[in-house]
Structure 1
Amino acid sequence: MTFRPFLAAAALCGLAACATPTMETAEGGIPDVTPQSISLDTMKDITRTLSDDSFEGRAPGTPGGEKTVAYLIEQFEGAGLQPGNNGSWCQDVPLVEITGRDFQPLVVTGGAQALTFEPQQDWVGVSYREVDSVAISDAELVFVGYGINAPEKGWNDYAGLDMRGKIAVILVNDPDWRSETLEGTFNGRAMTYYGRWTYKYEEAARQGAAGALVIHQTEPASYGWNVVESSWSGPQAYAQRGDGGASQTMMNGWITEGAASAIFDSAGQDFAAMQAAATQAGFKPVPLGLTASTGFQNDFRRFSSRNVIGILPGSTRPDEYVLHTAHWDHLGRCTPDETGDDICNGAIDNASGTAALVALAQAHANKGPAERTLVFLAVTAEESGLLGSEYYGANPVFPLDRTVGGVNMDALVFAGAARDVSIVGPGKSELDAYLMKGLAMQGRVGTPNPSPQAGYYYRSDHFSLAKRGVPMLYVKSGDDLVNGGREAGAAYQRAYRATAYHRPGDEYDANWDWSGVMQDLELFYVLGRMMADTQDWPNWNDGDEFRRIRDESCAAPGGC
C-alpha cells in the first residue's frame, strides 16, 4: 500500500509508475476530508420508489427499465448534477435478448442406461448465439477439471485435447478454493477470475467446444441452485456481437451436483476422486465415454438499454475523474414465490446502491466542487453479466487513463451499524491506504471478505473498470455488528441469501435498520472526496494482475 506522487509533466508518468514511495510520504498525499450530512430521507425515498412493483423489477429493455432511467435522470438533476455524456444524461448500450423455450431434457447415453435430466430441475442452458434453434446430438462429454488455461501458471486443463463438437464438464471456482489461507497457485481460498463461470464459458469457446456445463456446488459457488435456476431462466440479455455470437459455444449451462454425480457414476468414474485430481498441477482432461443430447428454441429481441451518467465538474482539474458506480437494473419478472409474486423487486440489490449515488451526489454538490470531476455512473444490465459497465469500459465517456479510481456500491447492508467493513479484494491497490484513513476517522477497521472463495471482486461492476487498469474499491458493511457482534452479522447474511437474494422477497421494508447504511455512505463520501482532492495517482500494487495495464496507460502520452 504505497503511493506514487503526482508529477506535473504527464510525459514523466510512465517513469513515476516505477517509483515506490514510502508509506510516510504516501499518506501525506491523502487529504483530510470532513464528512458531510447525507440525506436518509433521500435514501429511503429512492430505494422505496425503485423497488416498487410499478417498476416491475427494473429489467433492461422493459417499460420498468425505461421508467427507471427517466426517474434517475430526474433525481440526478435534482441532486445538482450535470449531464455527463457530452450534454446527455445517457449512454446507449446495445443489447440482444435471447429467450430460450421448448427445452428438451438433457439426455446422457453411453452408460448402462440412459440418464434423463429435466430443465430447471436438474440443468439449465442458454445460447449466446443468435440462432433460432439449438440442437445438440450425441456430443461427447469431457471432464476438464476447472476448465482453466493459464500459461503463466503452467496450467492447462485442456492440454492435448481437441474440443470441437464436445461438451466440457467443468467444476466451479478454481483448484485451491478449499485452502484455509490465501496462498496458492490460484491465490488459495480467494477466487481468481479463472474461477468465475464467465471465464469458463469464454475459455470453452476459445477451445472450440460445442457446449459447456458447469457443475453447481453451493459452497464453491457461494449461492444455491435457486439462484442459478432463477438467474438463468427466461430472457437473457447480452451485448451485441459483430458475429452474432458465432464464436461462442452452442450452449452454456449448469448441472446440479446430483446430476453430475449420476453422470460420473454412469461413466464408471468416482466423482470425488475426479474432483481431487483436478486440483493437481498436470491434470489432464478425462473423456467420460458418454454423449449428451438436448435442444431448445430461441426468440430474439434487439434493443438498447442505457447507462445514466451525471457529473460534478472539478474546480482545478476537471479533466481528471473519480467514479462512483452502482447498477440500477434487477431481474424483472422471475420465478414466482409461494404466494404467486413473480416480481424480483431488487430493493437491496440494487435500488439501495442506486439511491446512494443520488444521496452522495447531493452531499458533494452541497459541499461544492472538488478539485477533480466526480462522476456518478448508474449502469444497466449488471445482472446479465456486468454488461452496462462492460460497455462503458470498452467505450468510456471519460478516458480511463485520466480516471483516478472509484468506489462501487452494490447491495447495501441493512444489518445495523458495524465495527468493521468487509474489504472485497484487499491488498490489490494503493487505494487501501485511502480506505484505512477513512475507516480510522470512523473508528472502524477493515477485514478481508469472509468468503474469498466466492470471487466477489470479479462479480460486480467495478471489475469492468479494474480489468482495464482503473483502481476500484469494493467495500461492504462488515459482519461485526455493534448490536450482536459477528453472530448477528452472519445471521443477517444467511437470512438475506435464504429469503431475498434474487428472489421476490427482496422488497422494501419500512422496518430496516439504516444505521449501517448511513455509516457506509459517510465512508464512501470521504473516499470519493479524498481521491478527488489528492494530487496522487493511486496504482495497483506490485504483482497485481492489473498493474501492467495501468502502467501502460500511464506511460501513454497524456495518461495519468
Structure 2
Amino acid sequence: MKKTFLALSILYTGLFSCTPKIGSIITVSEVARVERTLSADDMEGRGIYSPGLEKAANFIASEFGASGLEYFGDNTSYMQSFAMLLATPAEVSGTLDKEALSPSNLVVNSTSETIEINSLSEIDVVKVPKDADFNQLVFPVLRGEKNALVLIDPSHAANYARLGRIAGRAKFPIAHSQVFVMTETLDPSSVSLKITNKITEQELKNVVGVIPGKSLKDEYVVFGAHYDHLGIGRPDASQDSIYNGANDDAAGTTAVMMLGKYFNKIKDNERTLIFVAFTAEESGGFGSTYFSQQLDPDKVVAMFNIEMIGTESKWGTNSAYITGFEKSSMGEILQKNLEGSKFHFEPDPYPKQNLFYRSDNRTLAALGVPAHTISTSKMDEAPNNEPNYHKASDEFETLDMENMTEVIKAIALSSQSIISGKDRPTRVEKLD
C-alpha cells in the first residue's frame, strides 16, 4: 500500500518528475544548443546535395557518437549512404508527326541510358488538352510504373515547368521511361524518338544510430525525423534567402538526438532502438524509403516520426497530436502512459491534410508498421496555420524551447512501455 501511494504521489507532483534523470539529460539548454546549431545560417538551409546538408549530417553523427550509440547493421559509421541516379538528356532526335522533338519541348522521367519510341501502339499515350485537369492526368502517370508518352497542350506551361523540376531530380533506379511533350499535336499519327541520357550518380546519406535491445533485441522501435530542408532560395519579405528550417525539421531531428542520448543513459530498453535522421524528405522521401527497405517490417514494433514540434499546438503548451491515431493502438498507449501528467496527446485535428501519408512515417506505415508522426504544427488553412512554414522566416528565434523540451520528454516517457516490451501496438493496415 505504501508503494502504491508513493508512486501516485510522485506521478502527480509535476510534469514528468516521476523520472528524475530525464530532467538532467533532456534539458532546455541542451535542446536549444542542438536546435540552434542545426538551424544556423552556416547550415545553408540543409538543401539536398549541398555542403550545408553534409555539414548537418556530420554534426548529427558526432552527437550520436558522443551519446554512445552503436552503428546500424554492418555499417562502419553512422552514415547510411545510398546512390540516386540523375538522367539528363544528352542527345534527342525525332519527330511527332512533322514536329521536331528536342530537349526544349520534352521532359523525361527515366534512369535508362537510351529511350526509343517508334510507334504509338507500343506505348501508353496520355493526352492533356487545354481545359483538362493537369494534376489529375499527369501526376498519376509520373507516380506510376508504366512506359508512357504524355502529350500536353501549351496552355499548361506553368505546370509543365513544375513537372520538369520534379521529373528532373535524381531518383532511385526505375525500370520504366516516361516522356512528357509540350505540343499542340495531341492526336498524332506517328512518332519517332530517340533519347540518349547522361547518367550520373548522386549520393545521399541518412544518419543512423542504435541502442541494442536485451531480451527482445530482434524487435525494433524506430525514432526518426528528417534533417534536410529547402536550402537557399528566393529572398522573402525580409530579404533573407536562407530557409533555415528551424521547425521543419531541425526540431524533430533535435528530438531524435536527445532521445538517443537519454535512452542510452538509462539503458532500460528490451527492444532494439534505432535513431535515424532522414535525408531528402522535402524532395520525395527518398531517405525514409531507402531506410525502410533495409528492415524487415514485421520486426518493427513501432515508429515515432517527429515533425515540427517547436511551436505550441492548437491546444497550447504541453500538448501534441498523433497522425493516423485511429489506425493503430499506439496513440492510446502513449496517452495511457502520460495519465496524471500535465502533458496530453491528441488525435490529428487536420484530417483533410492527410498528414499520416505526408511525412517519413509513410513508407513503414504502408508496410503495416504502427508508424505515426508526432507534431505540434498548426496545419489549418491560412491565417490560422504556421506563419513560417516553408519560409525563410522559419528560424530559431520563432521557437519555444521550453515547450519543445517538454514534448521531447513526453515522447521519451510515453514510449517507455513499448521500448521495454510491455506493450505492442496493433498493426496498421498495409497499402496494396
Larger RCO (CA under 8 A, 6+ residues apart):
1
The structural deviation recorded for 1:210 is 2.3
The whole-number CA distance in structure 2 between the counterparts of 1:441 and 1:162 is: 65
Q: Which residue of 1 aligns with 2:78?
A: 89
Between stretches 369-378 and 429-438, larger displacement belongs to 429-438
2:415 to 517, 528, 533: 528
The structural deviation recorded for 1:532 is 0.9
What SS does structure 2 have at the residue aligned with 1:502?
coil
What SS does structure 1 have at the residue aligned with 2:176?
coil
The whole-number CA distance in structure 2 between the counterparts of 1:402 and 1:246 is: 29
The correspondence of residues 353-392 of structure 1 with structure 2, limited to 5 A, is: 353-392=252-291
* 1:355 to 1:198, Cα distance in 2 relative to 1, 3 A: farther
Q: Which residue of 2 aligns with 1:53?
A: 41
The correspondence of residues 50-449 of structure 1 with structure 2, limited to 5 A, is: 50-86=38-74, 87-97=76-86, 127-130=108-111, 164-167=124-127, 170=133, 201-203=142-144, 205-206=145-146, 208-210=148-150, 232=165, 236-239=169-172, 241=173, 245=174, 247-251=176-180, 301-338=200-237, 340-396=239-295, 399-415=296-312, 417-418=316-317, 420-449=319-348
Aligned amino acid, residue 74 of structure 1: S
Using structure 2 for the length normalisation, give the TM-score: 0.73
1:39 to 16, 27, 38: 27
Task: Give the gaps of 5 or more residues in structure 2.
Answer: 1-15, 90-103, 189-195
The structural deviation recorded for 1:449 is 2.5
What SS does structure 2 have at the residue aligned with 1:60?
coil
Q: Does 1:473 align with 2:372?
A: yes
Aligned amino acid, residue 518 of structure 1: T
What SS does structure 2 have at the residue aligned with 1:82?
coil
Q: Which residue of 1 aligns with 2:358?
A: 459
The whole-number CA distance in structure 2 between the counterparts of 1:167 and 1:529 is: 54
* 1:403 to 1:517, Cα distance in 2 relative to 1, 3 A: same
What SS does structure 2 have at the residue aligned with 1:530?
helix
Aligned amino acid, residue 525 of structure 1: A
The structural deviation recorded for 1:98 is 6.2
The whole-number CA distance in structure 2 between the counterparts of 1:334 and 1:453 is: 29
* 1:492 to 1:71, Cα distance in 2 relative to 1, 3 A: farther
* 1:433 to 1:73, Cα distance in 2 relative to 1, 3 A: same
What SS does structure 1 have at the residue aligned with 2:325?
coil
The whole-number CA distance in structure 2 between the counterparts of 1:458 and 1:230 is: 21
The structural deviation recorded for 1:534 is 2.3
* 1:313 to 1:325, Cα distance in 2 relative to 1, 3 A: same
The structural deviation recorded for 1:344 is 2.0
Between stretches 67-76 and 84-93, larger displacement belongs to 84-93
Please tell me whether the aligned partners of residues 81 and 310 of structure 1 are also in contact (alpha carbons under 8 angstroms).
Answer: yes
Q: Which residue of 2 aligns with 1:517?
A: 404
The structural deviation recorded for 1:162 is 11
Between stretches 361-370 and 332-341, larger displacement belongs to 332-341
Using structure 1 for the length normalisation, give the TM-score: 0.58
Task: Give the gaps of 5 or more residues in structure 1.
Answer: 1-31, 101-118, 120-124, 141-160, 174-194, 217-224, 254-287, 291-296, 480-485, 550-560
The structural deviation recorded for 1:198 is 6.9
Please tell me whether the aligned partners of residues 230 and 334 of structure 1 are also in contact (alpha carbons under 8 angstroms).
Answer: no
Q: Which residue of 1 aligns with 2:385?
A: 494
* 1:478 to 1:62, Cα distance in 2 relative to 1, 3 A: closer
The whole-number CA distance in structure 1 between the counterparts of 2:410 and 2:290 is: 28
The whole-number CA distance in structure 2 between the counterparts of 1:437 and 1:72 is: 32
Aligned amino acid, residue 473 of structure 1: H
The structural deviation recorded for 1:236 is 2.8
Please tell me whether the aligned partners of residues 99 and 234 of structure 1 are also in contact (alpha carbons under 8 angstroms).
Answer: no
The whole-number CA distance in structure 1 between the counterparts of 2:114 and 2:42 is: 34
Aligned length, in residue pairs: 386
The structural deviation recorded for 1:164 is 2.3
**C-alpha distance after superposition, 1:7-56 (max 9, x if no partner):** xxxxxxxxxxxxxxxxxxxxxxxxx9955222222221122112222222
* 1:81 to 1:69, Cα distance in 2 relative to 1, 3 A: same
The whole-number CA distance in structure 2 between the counterparts of 1:62 and 1:232 is: 17
What SS does structure 2 have at the residue aligned with 1:468?
coil
The ranges of structure 1 where at least 4 consecutive aligned residues each deviate by more than 6 angstroms after the TM superposition are 131-134, 228-231, 297-300, 489-492
What SS does structure 2 have at the residue aligned with 1:534?
coil
The structural deviation recorded for 1:492 is 8.2
The structural deviation recorded for 1:388 is 0.6
What SS does structure 1 have at the residue aligned with 2:83?
strand
The whole-number CA distance in structure 2 between the counterparts of 1:478 and 1:448 is: 13
